[in-house]
Amino acid sequence: MEAEILMKAILLAKILLVLGAVVTALTAERRTLTRVLGTFFTILPAIVLVYAGVGLIVWGATPSLVLTEISAIKTRLTLQADVLSGLFLLLIGILSASAALHSYAYLEHPHYRQENLIRYYPMLLLFILAMVGVVVAHDMLTFLVFWELMTLASYVLVAYERSKPENLRAALKYFILTHLGALCLLVAAVILWVQGGSFEFGTVFATFEKLAKTRPMLLHGVFALLFIGFATKAALFPFGDWLPDAHPAAPSPISAMLSGVMIKLGIYGFLRFFVWLLPTAAFPFAYDWSYVFGIFGVVSAVLGGAAATVTYDAKVLLAYSSIAQSGFITLGIGAGMFLFRQDLQLANIAMAGAFFHIVGDAFVKALLFLNAGSVLYATGSRRFADLGGLLESMPETAGTAFIGSMAIAGFPPLTAFVSKWLILQSLLFSKSIPVTFSGVGMLLASIFSILYSVKFFASCFLIKPMRAEKLEVPSTMRLAQLLLTLLIILVGLFPGVVLRWSSWIIADASMFAGAEQQLAGVWQWAWVQPLTGAFSPLIVIGMFVVVSIFAIISVGTERQPRKAPIWVGGELIKQEQLGGHPQGVPLREELLQRAYPKAPVPRWQPPAWFTKLLDPEAWMYRPVISGGEWISDLLRRAHTGVPHLYIAWQIIGAAIIALIVWLMFRT
Amino acid sequence: MVKWQVALIWAIATPLILLAISPLLDGLARKIRARLHSRIGPPLIQGYLDLAKLAGKTDVTPTVNTLTNFLPFLALASAVTAGTLLPISDFAPLSFAGDLLVVLYLLGLSTVAIVLGGAASGNPYSFLGAARELQLLLFVEPVMAFALFVLAVKAGTFRLSEIVIWHAQNGYTLSTVLAGISALSAMLPYFGKLPFDLSEAEQELMGGILLEQGGWRLALYRWTFFVKWFIVTWLFCEAFLPVIAPFPLSILLLLVKVFIVFFIAAVLETLLARLRLDHARAFFIHIAFFVLFALAFALIGS
């Protein structure tokens, strides 16, 4: 009964999204009408999706619907949602609603006004539709179709502002790199089809079991292809090289969607194929692949954090930070896959941390991208050099950005703290030397995240003399930010609720079944008490309030502060020379040893290949492009329009075919 | 399990006691410095006198808004909250509310609040101080965290009271001694004192992040520093010099330990000159390798 309602809700959302795409495409010439309709047709399905997501998690139903059967490939195209899909449906719903609210006013900025809305709202709705399709697909074919649709729709959205050549370049890079990833997924799907005979997930499950027993190397190959495909979407280093280019190019609400949910769908792929669809016989493979997850997770977390610390562009900073957070999540999943055999409870804690980070980071990163968009809307720039001193000009945006930055820095009692704390516990107490040392990398990455979040907030809103003019953004944009801020505070104050939901989700995977009873007392509504630690956000916030009240009483703040000009020791300095340089943390110079001319002391320089390795564009993206150009050049040369040449080609081709036929039938 | 009444009394009393006795450390440090300079020096209660004087002054500052009024309270409150989570020997009534990592992050939050307060003033010197403080955080926080993680890994838990009990029962090993030395060196920048007072650096930056703070706001920031001195010393003493004692005696022991460790820090402050940022960085990178070796030793069981 419940299952039917939920399936109907998901279908209703999909129909509404398609309808909205058609309607907004038809009305695209009338901007105001399209904006209203587009917002309406995003928020309505979003509410339905939130309902479906919560229902799926709370009722634990697995509604299923067979679309059609293709007997030629022995596959029934199926939609099926379970608790794991429920979580992602919930995130898609919430984030698409806030992105739609934010883009209502954002698209009327003079910057974007000359762009046609037909490339925005229909594509946004198709993008949401595709993401919903990805998480409820239950066979490889549907999954890949929606996966491609998601990439295509988001490609158009990334290239929305097409008057700038760098945006088109970023979009093309995104297109090519994600398609390389999708190609890997396609090859993996075909291999599984050849081995198993069907594209359905049930058959994939059986195929994994068969391959684990008979052909383990082939299974490792399939896993490698799946890993590369999903890591490209999840933006792990070095596969995520498209992300720092694509995010600044996209309109800010789209960046929020890309970073908040879309790269989390790469994580969904990891969870679905490496945990959920794994039969017992293939569990040792999960153990082997946990090392890969851990290595890529730590490297992405540390490098993403370090790169975010030295950027001078608000949206690039957030993009690198997305890579880092993706690394944290992957590390948590890897820890869970490593530990499930020796210590189920600790493995469950790691997975709960990963799930909490998926939820928390989705909200926080979406909020920060919306903040960056508001700043861009108000000032027309996203470079830190042009920003600063906006705190009093846009107080509400600044307030939400403060909460968001503190949350992503991981300060209690906000969201990212709980997840980092849980993952770090499982890493440190794993009794395995490499895993514990990945905890060292994780702590380093956490400190980088403190640095770049402080840098983001301070460079946007502080560090310069406060601007006098009022620049606050329109109310719909503020509403979207406020919604996400409230969610961050709620999730941060009551982590037990989300953690209990994630424990239900985790218990659904056969790998982690049975740990729910062991962890029964751990996730209370207001405090979290795993064996190895304890945290209660309410008590922390209570202490904050008590101490603040005491301090207010003891120092007494009834005297108004007196305003005075900035004091620089009596030097004559112009107003615009005041304030700090936007580099915030001058780490780049420090790291590259350029700050001062140095005495000839022998210093360790990283080898050239290592420096090259850190630039995936040079060794991954450009070779693909030049290879493609080379091949198309060859093809072009074959078609010169000379008839003799064509006849020659035909004769050679006929000869080759004849040779093949002869070889086949010669017996 | 501690009774909830005890936890409630602890939760009310500890912040008050912390706020009350921490300015004493300032007077103590200044007295020690004066004696080493062969001066008589200010009275021991100079910290209280300074706070009272500052709280009575008018606040003159370039930026007045909700955030800059809120940040001093955030700094002080997070430092004091970290203090309530610490154990006195094995007695930690609020240990269910937070563990080692919560304490470390709360100390970091208090630092970040001060940094943001400095950055909000729009003064270039404050900004320089803030940037230095952040860079120092990048090198100091991992060292302190890893040193405490050595104990956590050995004890198999993040809960501070259990770490203390484990350390008191099992005694020192190679890894814990190495970690203790690293933590002692990482404590100095937490104090914000010489040789690591880069963020204030009166001679270069005229007070750095505190340059534009005045009146009650400066009083709160200074109070935060005092509380942090006490808490960091307390954490170090309980984690690395653990003695299990019955309740009233344990407080006395803690005070004695804090006094001794703080005395050493104050003497070091007087004897050493300020390090430049690159020197500080080089110092902590070496200490970091030290502490990573300690972690490796801890993992192979020594």
**A364 vs A387, which has greater pLDDT?**
A364
Same domain, residue pair A106 and A255: yes
- For residue A578, being part of any structural domain is answered with no
Query: Binning pLDDT at 50, 70 and 90, where does residue A586 land?
Result: very low
- Cβ pair A442, A428 in contact under 8 A: no
Residues A265 and A369 in one domain: yes
Per the CB < 8 Å rule, is B109 touching A417? no
Of B122, B135, B278, the CB nearest to A389: B122
Contact A329, A298 (CB under 8 A): no
Write out the DSSP string of B155-218.
HT---HHHHHHHHHHH---HHHHHHHHHHHHHHHHHHT-TTS-TTT-HHHHTTGGGTT--HHHH
What CA–CA distance (Å, rounded) separates A299 from A311?
18
Structure token pair of residue A377: 């809307």
Name the minimum distance, in Å, from the CA of B114 to any CA of chain A. Answer: 11
Query: Which of A452-466, A474-488, A630-644, B271-285: highest mean pLDDT?
Result: A474-488
- Helical axes A83-106 vs A121-136, angle rounded to 10°: 170
Q: Which of A398, A462, A534 faces B99 most closely, judged by CB atoms?
A: A534
Which of A117, A126, A57, A63 shows the shortest CA–CA distance to A96? A126
- Determine, for residues B105 and A464 on separate chains, whether the beta-carbon distance falls below 8 Å: no
pLDDT digit string (tens) for B117-147? 888 887 778 888 888 888 888 888 889 999 9
Tokens representing residue B271 in the block: 């004897």
**B141 and A447: CB-CB below 8 Å?**
yes
Cα-based angle A459, A465, A468 (whole degrees, multiple of 5): 110
DSSP A535: B
Q: What is the separation, in whole angstroms, between the first and last Cα of chain A?
A: 60
| Average pLDDT score over chain A | 85
Helices B174-191, B277-299: inter-axial angle, 10-degree rounding:
150
Q: Would the pLDDT of A294 be above 80?
A: yes
Closest CA to A372 of A461, A310, A490: A461
Asked if A359 and A491 touch (Cβ cutoff 8 Å), the reply is: yes
The average pLDDT across A378-390 equals: 84
Closest Cβ–Cβ partner in B16, B62, B112 for A450: B112
Domain limit, last residue, from A500, A527, A543:
A543
Has residue A599 got a pLDDT over 50?
no
Using the CB atoms, write b or e for B1-23: b if 16+ within 10 Å.
eeeeeebeebbeebbeebbeebb
d(CA B51, CA B110): 19
Helix (H) or strand (E) holding A563: strand A562-563
Helix (H, G, I), strand (E, B) or coil at A642: coil
pLDDT for res A557? 61
| Count of residues in chain A | 667
d(CA B182, CA B249): 28
- Per-residue pLDDT of A44-90, as tens digits, reads 999 999 999 999 888 888 888 888 888 888 888 888 888 899 999 99
Q: Indicate yes or no: CB of A555 within 8 angstroms of CB of B216.
A: yes
Phi, psi of A494 (to 5 degrees): -120, 65
Inter-residue contact B146 to B178 (CB < 8 Å): no
Residue A222 pLDDT > 50, yes or no? yes
Distance (Å, whole) CA A618 – CA A640: 33
Positive or negative, the CA dihedral A432, A433, A434, A437 is: positive
CA distance A25 to chain B (A): 44
| Residue A560 pLDDT greater than 80, yes or no | no
- Measured between CB atoms, which of A428, A540, A562 is closest to B58? A562
- Residue A601 pLDDT > 60, yes or no? no
Query: What is the C-alpha separation between A322 and A367, in angstroms, rounded?
Result: 13
Reported as a pLDDT band with limits 50, 70 and 90, residue A595 is very low
Alpha-carbon torsion A349, A354, A359, A361, what sign? positive
Assess whether pLDDT exceeds 90 at residue A656: yes
Provide the pLDDT for residue A1. Answer: 67
Q: What number is the average pLDDT over the span A520-530?
A: 75
The answer to the question of residue A569 being in a domain is no
Residues of A in contact with B84 (CB under 8 A): 543
- Asked if the Cβ–Cβ distance from A462 to B119 is below 8 Å, we say yes
Q: Which residues of B touch A457 (CB under 8 A)?
A: 116
CA A151 to chain centre: 14
CA distance B252 to chain A (A): 25
DSSP string of A194-216, one letter each residue: HHHS--BHHHHHHHHHHHHHH-H
Query: Domains in chain A: how many in total?
Result: 2
Q: How far is A357 from chain B (nearest CA, A)?
A: 17
- Please, how many CA atoms are within 13 Å of residue A415, restricted to the half-sphere of its CB? 29
A99 compared with A529, residue with greater pLDDT: A99
Task: Read off the DSSP letter of residue A138.
Answer: -
Query: How far A546 CA lies from chain B's nearest CA (Å)?
Result: 8
Do residues B12 and B30 make contact, with C-beta atoms less than 8 angstroms apart? no
A401/A391 Cα distance (integer angstroms): 10
Residue A576 covered by a domain: no
- pLDDT, one tens digit per residue, over B46-59 is 989 998 888 888 88
Q: What is the pLDDT, as a whole number, of residue B2?
A: 65
Residue keyed to tokens 């010439």:
A29
A567/B212 touch (CB, cutoff 8 Å), yes or no: yes
Structural domain harbouring A655: 638-667
**Alpha-carbon span A651 to A464, nearest angstrom:** 75
Which of A406, A411, A423, A568 is the mutation pick for testing B, counting most B CBs within 10 A?
A411
Residue B157 has pLDDT above 80, yes or no: yes
pLDDT at position A353 over 60: yes
Residue B54 CA to residue B70 CA, distance in Å, equals 18
Angle between the N-to-C axes of helices A433-461 and B100-120, in degrees from 0 to 180, rounded to the nearest 10: 20
CA distance A46 to chain B (A): 34
Instruction: Give the per-residue SS3 of A47-104.
Output: HHHHHHHHHHHHHCCCCEEEEEEEHHHCEEEEEECCHHHHHHHHHHHHHHHHHHHHHH
Question: Which residues in chain A are contacts of B95 at CB distance < 8 A?
Answer: 534
pLDDT at A269 over 90: yes
Which residue does chain A place closest to B116, by CA atoms? A458
Please indicate whether, in this complex, the C-beta atoms of A463 and B292 are within 8 angstroms of each other: no
Predicted confidence band at A573 (pLDDT cuts at 50, 70, 90)? low
For B223, nearest residue in chain A (alpha carbons): A551
Report yes or no on A19 lying in a domain: yes
Using DSSP bridges, classify how beta strands A562-563 and B60-61 pair: parallel, antiparallel or unpaired.
Answer: parallel
B82/chain A closest Cα distance in angstroms:
9
- Of A436, A532, A595, nearest to B157 by CB-CB distance is A532
Identify whether A584 is part of a domain: no
Q: Do the chains contact at A563 and B15, CB–CB below 8 Å?
A: no
Kindly determine whether residue B76 and residue A529, on different chains, have CB atoms separated by under 8 Å.
no
| pLDDT for residue A602 is more than 70 | no
Domain boundaries, chain B: 4-299
Contact (CB<8Å) A463/B128 = no
The predicted structure's pLDDT at residue A405:
93
> Nearest C-alpha of chain B: how many angstroms from A307?
14
- pLDDT per position as a tens digit, A138-184: 989 999 999 999 999 999 999 888 888 888 888 888 888 888 899 99
Q: Which residues pair with A200 in a beta bridge?
A: A139
Residue, of A26 and B197, whose pLDDT is higher = A26
A chain contacts of residue B19, beta-carbon cutoff 8 Å: 547, 550-551, 554
Q: Chain A closest CA to B275's CA: distance in Å?
A: 16
Q: Which residues of A602-624 are buried (b: 16+ CB within 10 A; e: fewer)?
A: eeeeeeeeeeeeeebeeeebeee
- Whether the predicted pLDDT of B272 surpasses 90: no
Nearest to B302 by CA among B173, B177, B182, B178: B173
Contact B98 A425 (CB under 8 A): no
> Residue A580 pLDDT more than 70?
no
Residue ending a domain, choose from A504, A522, A543: A543
Is the confidence at residue A577, as pLDDT, over 70? no
Q: What is the pLDDT of residues A459-498, one digit of tens each?
A: 888 877 888 888 888 888 999 999 999 999 999 888 888 8
pLDDT at A370 over 90: yes
Give the pLDDT score at A228: 92
pLDDT greater than 50 at residue A589: no
Chain A residues within an 8 Å CB radius of B223? 551
Identify the domain boundary among A508, A543, A578. A543
Flag the least confident range among A215-219, A238-242, A546-550, B152-156. Answer: A546-550
Using CB atoms, pick whichever of B58, B80, B124 lies closest to residue A580.
B124
- CA–CA distance, A262 with A189 (Å, rounded to integer): 21
Q: Which of B99, B137, B152 sits opposite A535 (nearest CB)?
A: B99
Contact B219 A555 (CB under 8 A): yes
Beta bridge partners of A562: B60
Give A321's pLDDT tier (boundaries 50, 70, 90).
Answer: very high
Closest chain B residue to the Cα of A398, Cα to Cα: B67
Would you call B109 and A389 a contact, using CB atoms and an 8 Å cutoff? no
Does the pLDDT at position A200 exceed 60?
yes
Q: What distance, in Å, lies between the first and last C-alpha atoms of chain B? A: 31
Q: For testing the chain B interface, which of A428, A460, A601 should be mutated: the one with the most B CBs within 10 Å? A: A428
- A196 to chain B, closest Cα gap in Å: 44
